[in-house]
Amino acid sequence: MQQFKGFMTLSRHIMEQERKYPKATGEFSSLLSDLAVAAKIVGRSVNKAGLVDVIGFTGDENIFGEEVKKLDILANETIVRTLDHGGHLCVMASEESNGLIKIPPEHPKGNYVFLFDPLDGSSNIDVNVSIGTIFSIFRRISKEGDGTLQDCLQPGFYQVAAGYVLYGSSSMFVYSTGQGVHGFTYDPGIGEFLLSNENMTVPDRGKIFSMNTGYLNFWPDEIRRYYDYITSVDPATNRPYSLRYIGSLVADFHRNLLYGGVFIYPPDKKHPNGKLRLMYEANPLAFLVEKAGGAASDGFTPILQKQPVDIDQETPLIIGSKEDVAVVEDFLRGKK
Ligand code: P6P
């Protein structure tokens, strides 16, 4: 009979992480716990989405009596409504909302800024491909009142926490407050995220590259030369790298975090500044990958050192195992 070793819930882990900071007020832990609740609610909606055509919806109402909305809008509203009254935030911004999301005047303002992509990859939901929520947390710069655009436009280096929720065959909550990267798997039986991957580290080098090769003819020559290189036989292993591309950033990133490898969304003729968002996607994943021993850049500048100028700005993204990222940078910089 296997000895029951107990389990570490996300809530307990957050509290134990907080105890490492003597001056912690508990405000930050309470924010992360509120976020875990939002993740459970969004996860339930994502899991039900596949039933839209099966269980039938009457007009705008489903059989659960809930208004039927596009999932990413539903996820956005769920996260905002769960976080906007806890008194921890002074402002939010979302890839799904235009401009800043103010904290309603009837709720107290807090010391943190919350930036997020509520449901990245949501176009994949119809084919049951994993999708995810990505989040980034900064401490406010302004002293009081409503948070400002300046509070949001901070370089990623100043994040105090970041993470994602992966809604897949099982839901996972992966986060870091700067002390390692930790993964929690959702157990619907008890409604808790349970610690399943403590201190996640990304291998220095992998065997997988992840990019949309359909854009081959849109890529700059440097990236095409990289593609020819990475698909040639590697003398060290006597085989080329394998291509894995899900088309859902959180799923592609999560695989590379576990197995190693590199995800590349370069500038191309359709996306001269890249496609992915600096504030809602690149910054949080770059924070995680660096805390896990990996690297992330736009090919020339580390993502976490980029000074944002626009809340919705895009960036090229090369992220994953540090040796694999360095090879892509060498090609982009003309060194290879
Ligand atoms: P493409 C999904 O739409 C997304 O924002 C990311 O999740 C994903 O990595 C990327 O776009 C896929 O873009 O141009 O390859 O379809």
265-292 burial, b at 16+ Cβ within 10 Å, e below that, comes to bbbbeeeeebbbbbbbbbbbbbbbbbbb
Task: Find the 275 Cα to ligand 1 centroid distance in Å.
Answer: 8
Task: Write the CB contacts of 142 (distance below 8 Å, at least 6 apart in sequence).
Answer: 90, 148, 150, 151
For the question of whether the overall pTM of this predicted structure is more than 0.75, the answer is: yes
Residue 105 lies in domain? 5-197
Best substitution site from 211, 249, 270, 280 to test ligand 1's pocket, by max atoms within 8 Å of Cβ?
Answer: 249
When pLDDT is cut at 50, 70 and 90, the band that residue 1 belongs to is low
In a domain, 96, yes or no: yes
In a domain, 202, yes or no: no
Q: What angle do CA 137, 20, 115 make, to 5 degrees?
A: 5
Here the CATH number for the domain that contains residue 169 is 3.30.540.10
- Confidence check: pLDDT of 310 > 90: yes
The pairing of strands 171-176 and 262-265 is: unpaired
Both 171 and 33 in one domain: the answer is: yes
Q: What is the mean pLDDT of residues 134-147?
A: 97
Q: For 158-196, what is each residue's pLDDT tens digit?
A: 999 999 999 988 899 999 999 999 999 999 999 999 999
Both 186 and 224 in one domain: the answer is: no
Please identify, by atom number, the ligand 1 atom nearest to the C-alpha of residue 117: 5
Angle 71-83/27-49 helices, nearest 10 degrees?
Answer: 160
Task: Write the CB contacts of 18 (distance below 8 Å, at least 6 apart in sequence).
Answer: 24, 26, 28, 29
Structure tokens that stand for 111 in this block: 């010391």
Residue 247 Cβ contacting ligand 1 at under 6 Å:
yes
In a domain, 203, yes or no: no
Main-chain dihedrals φ then ψ at residue 279, nearest 5 degrees: -75, -35
Both 150 and 291 in one domain: the answer is: no
Alpha carbon nearest to ligand 1 atom 9, residue: 249
Number of compact structural domains in the chain: 2
Task: Find the 249 Cα to ligand 1 centroid distance in Å.
Answer: 6
